[in-house]
Amino acid sequence: MATTKVRQCMAECHRYPLRVQQSKLDGWWFIFVDEVPGLGVLGPNYEDLLDRLKVVAGNVFRARGETVTDIKIIPSKNPALQVLH
């Protein structure tokens, strides 16, 4: 009887807290990832910014030579960017 081996790959996961602010002057949103210099987005639509942040984050990590398999926004009282390598 032949046996089948199952190989599991564990992805390395990093979670980065988001700093979210809204301008009282014009209502624009600012979302920063303080632990990753230069990573932040700003604009008038919060939901669009979350999608844009995932794209920009992927570009930043790949430019640093890191392999990125998935990026998620973790919504909560303390939102975070989750990056799987």
Domains of the chain listed by start with CATH number? 13-84 (3.30.160)
48-85 confidence digits (pLDDT tens): 999 999 999 999 999 999 999 999 999 999 999 999 98
- State how far the alpha carbon of 63 is from the alpha carbons of 53, 55, 67, in Å: 15, 12, 10
The pLDDT value recorded for residue 2 is 54
Please give the structure tokens belonging to residue 26.
Answer: 């014009």
Give the Cα-Cα-Cα angle 58, 16, 71 (nearest 5 degrees): 35
Does 3 have pLDDT greater than 70? no
Q: Are 84 and 13 within 8 A, CB to CB?
A: yes
Does 9 have pLDDT greater than 90? no
**Which phi and psi (to 5°) does residue 80 adopt?**
-145, 160
The pLDDT value recorded for residue 4 is 52
Residue with tokens 């990125």: 68
